[in-house]
């Protein structure tokens, strides 16, 4: 599954276009390296998101087949690290 599609479907971002901007802006890592929106991911992948107000690092557990809100989408990943920014 494409990285931007996963971020949208798992509820980590509200719009796929926003996910693409974040990825292509260098604010997302996959397994420790910078990743573009089209990067293929799967179960076991570690994703780091540097968002405007927080940093989140997750481990992908499974791939959703449709979009979910963030609370429901949490079934598809485990949070490794979550930091609020000032």
pLDDT digits (tens, 9 = 90+) for 18-61: 999 999 999 999 999 999 999 999 999 999 999 889 999 999 99
Q: Evaluate if residue 67 carries a pLDDT over 90.
A: no
| Token digits of residue 14 | 């509200």
Number of domains in the chain: 1
62-70 average pLDDT score: 86
pTM of the model: 0.90
* CA–CA dist 86, 32 (Å, integer): 24
Signed CA dihedral, 82, 32, 50, 3: sign only: negative
Find the CATH number of the domain harbouring 20: 3.10.290.10
Q: Evaluate if residue 82 carries a pLDDT over 90.
A: yes
Integer angstrom CA distances of residue 34 from 25, 57, 64 = 10, 13, 23
* CA–CA dist 21, 43 (Å, integer): 23
Question: Running DSSP on this structure, what letter comes out for residue 65?
Answer: S
| Token digits of residue 67 | 């979009």
Q: Helix or strand or coil: residue 71?
A: helix
Residue span of the structural domain in which 25 resides:
3-84
């Amino acid at each position: 599954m494409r990285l931007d599609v996963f971020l949208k479907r798992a509820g980590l971002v509200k719009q796929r276009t926003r996910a693409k901007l974040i990825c292509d802006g260098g604010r997302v890592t996959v397994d420790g390296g910078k990743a573009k929106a089209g990067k293929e991911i799967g179960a076991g992948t570690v994703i780091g998101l540097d968002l405007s107000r927080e940093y989140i690092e997750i481990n992908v557990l499974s791939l959703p087949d449709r979009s979910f809100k963030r609370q429901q989408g949490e079934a598809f990943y485990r949070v490794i690290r979550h930091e609020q920014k000032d």
